[in-house]
Amino acid sequence: MIKLPSRLRRLEDALFALPDDCMLLSDLDGYLTGLILCPEVVPPAEWLRVIWGGIEAGPPFEDPLDVQDFEAMLVARHAEIARDLAR
């Protein structure tokens, strides 16, 4: 089994902390790849909501700093996948 880098372990742990209907890391990578390959740009405000459980769902965190931290990890993963696809 491949050991995940710490940044991905941290993201995976954050995803596991979400409600049961939220994405796993492999789901997230597929979803972000689809967004990156989509011919139309999808703003982060739209795709972030889907990750934590639905279009109408808000962030499942009480602390705004937790929301910011989680969103930053997601945006960083999006950028990382985009860089990998551009190679």
* pLDDT per residue as tens digits for the range 13-69: 988 888 777 788 999 999 999 999 999 999 988 888 888 766 566 677 788 898 899
| Residue 44 tokens, joined | 């982060």
Q: How far apart are CA 59 and CA 57, in angstroms?
A: 7
Q: Where are the domains of the chain?
A: 6-86
Distances (CA, A) of 28 to 62, 63, 65: 22, 23, 21
Rounded to two decimals, what is the model's pTM?
0.86
Three-state DSSP at 47 gives helix
Three-state DSSP at 10 gives helix
Q: How far apart are CA 77 and CA 87, in angstroms?
A: 16
Q: How far apart are CA 16 and CA 69, in angstroms?
A: 15
